[in-house]
Chain A
Amino acid sequence: MTDPAAPKIALHSLTKSFGAKQVLRGVDLEVGRAESVVVIGGSGSGKSVLLKCLLGLMPTDAGTIQIDGETASDMGAAARAHLMTKFGMLFQGAALFDSLPVWENVAFGLIQGRDMARAQAREIAHEKLAQVGLTPEVGALYPAELSGGMQKRVGLARAIAGDPEIVLLDEPTTGLDPIMADVINDLIVKCVAELGASAVSITHDMASARKIANRVAMLYEGRIIWHGPIDDIDASGNPYVDQFIHGRAEGPIAMSIARH
């Protein structure tokens, strides 16, 4: 049963290894209702793995994932499929279906996942495209005909098409120029606020994090080493966080660079 008092998402002692490499070493994180949490961390720190575990795309080794107080890791296939209707996901590369036009990409979850009539789903797709600043003409194009920024916007429209309760964003601004990145950040803030959804984003783009986060958590070596409100991040007192947000090569975070 859904517990209204429970946090929207609660991760407890999550661990995940690939062979001898331990990527998550006991992650604890809670996300409140209508809260936007951004997980920051360097490349290879386990951010994407964390998001995939949260979505159930990757099994965890230990720990629990609770959504609305329900333990997701214990769910069967049918319950998990139902749980997925609560999620909307923007993938790093947008992950649009090449074989389908843009409108059908946006409406995909409504047509296939919720058995909605195509005509009605198409209308909703056009509404969602308008929400991310794209015209209905774009709906008739195929993903290969779009720029990177437009693909991200379509990906965002697809993520919010089913009015999800939780929006997950994987590196939403990676590969975009600073202006388009800011446009995407504004759209994320606007769309998540309109939905009243909780949001979990992973990024190493601090400009993006400052714009879309209520709260920030830093992942380092498979653990959350600091979390707090975005306004406190500059005075975190944590040398790892300081090094990361200022992008300094010197500091406690050692980058492994092979020297020849």
Chain B
Amino acid sequence: MNPLAAIGQTFLGFLAAIGRVALFTGNAVAQAATPPWYGRLILRQMVDIGYYSLPVVGLTTLFSGMVLALQSYTGFARFSAEGAVATVVVLSMTRELGPVLAGLMVAGRIGAAIAAEIGTMRVTEQIDALTTLSTNPFKYLVAPRLIAGLLTLPVLVLIGDIIGVFGGYLVGVYKLDFNAATYLARTLEFLEPMDVISGLVKAACFGFLVTLMGCYHGYNSRGGAQGVGAATTHAVVSASILILIANYVITELFFAR
């Protein structure tokens, strides 16, 4: 095949995929924004996304906070700025690491699970069955997951932030011999509400993206077990990439001067 034709075909395929995702998103948001809402399903998804992700997110942020304190200390010691460790830890955790790490962990855990569940429902005709039972699959399957992702991830990230800062505190106080009261004072000294809020806005956005990608790839999966496997992989990869892109865009919106 002509190389130019191959590039063109790939590019057109990419544009078509963007169009399909945009149409899916529009339909999903419209269904999520209008009643009726399935309260029980939303609650079940919130428990799945939030409560059951707590151990993974907690461990990730705890060790990230610890390593951040250690790295900052060894780096800052070169120019006698060790006192900034607590500030660096809290700002990094709330602005960046908390939401991004939680988002990526949830993408791996929840995005994959959603894609596998909805994908299996697609290939076993359960989604067709929903339609024949006068139930809109978007309202029943997609909307509860989007709402749950949007509402739950900020809470998860807030808890992750606290655990991450606590990890930094543990290393700072018990390994690097900082005074506990001074470390806590430094933690709060330069922390502004917008640092936390920006992280929570990111978290809500990431929650939306993770559940959207899980639902989109699951809903459009084809071809049996292999198709469901591919949908799961695509859901995690696309959600992870979108999280990193969205992270930059939101940071730019909040903090660019």
Contact = CB atoms under 8 A, between A and B. Distances in A.
B124 A113 contact: no
Interface string A107-130: 011001110000000000000000
A108 B133 contact: yes
Contacts of A114: 134
Given A55-B128, A108-B133, 6 more contacts: A56-B131, A57-B132, A93-B125, A95-B125, A96-B129, A114-B134
- Which residue, B120, B125, B134, B140, has most C-beta atoms of chain A within 10 A? B134
A112 B128 contact: no
A97 B126 contact: yes
A176 B133 CA distance: 25
B125 A55 contact: no
B10 interface: no
B125 A92 contact: yes
Contacts of B124: 93, 95
A163 B123 CA distance: 27
A88 B125 CA distance: 14
Contact of A55 (B126, B131, B135): B131
B136 interface: yes
Contacts of B120: 98
Contacts of B125: 91-93, 95
Interface in B107-134: 120-121, 124-126, 128-129, 131-134
B49 to A, nearest CB: 16
Interface in B123-167: 124-126, 128-129, 131-136, 140
Contact of B135 (A91, A96, A113): A113
Give the top 8 A-B pairs by smallest Cβ distance, nearest first: A113-B134, A109-B133, A95-B125, A95-B129, A89-B132, A112-B135, A84-B134, A91-B125
Interface residues of B, number: 14
A81 B136 contact: yes
A112 B129 CA distance: 12
Nearest to B123: A93
Interface of B: 120-121, 124-126, 128-129, 131-136, 140
A95 B128 contact: yes
Contacts of A96: 126, 129
- Which residue, B120, B121, B133, B135, has most C-beta atoms of chain A within 10 A? B133
A87 interface: yes
A56 B132 CA distance: 9
B135 A108 contact: yes
A112 B140 contact: yes
Interface in A177-215: none
Nearest to A52: B128
Contact of B128 (A91, A158, A162): A91
A85 interface: yes
Give the interface residue-count category, chain A: 20 to 34
Contacts of A97: 121, 126, 129
A114 B140 CA distance: 14
Contacts of B140: 112
Nearest to A161: B133
A81 B126 contact: no
Contacts of B121: 97
A55 B132 contact: yes
A84 B130 CA distance: 11
Contacts of A108: 133, 135
Contacts of B135: 108-109, 112-113
A131 to B, nearest CB: 18
A112 B134 CA distance: 8
A200 to B, nearest CB: 13
22 contacts: A55-B128, A55-B131, A55-B132, A57-B128, A81-B134, A82-B134, A88-B132, A89-B132, A93-B124, A95-B125, A95-B126, A95-B129, A96-B126, A97-B121, A108-B135, A109-B132, A109-B134, A112-B134, A112-B135, A113-B133, A158-B133, A162-B133
A256 B212 CA distance: 42
A97 B124 CA distance: 10
Contacts of B126: 95-98
A150 B255 CA distance: 61
B133 to A, nearest CB: 4
B35 to A, nearest CB: 12
Nearest to B128: A57
A85 B140 CA distance: 17
Nearest to B38: A112
Interface string A51-66: 0100111000000000
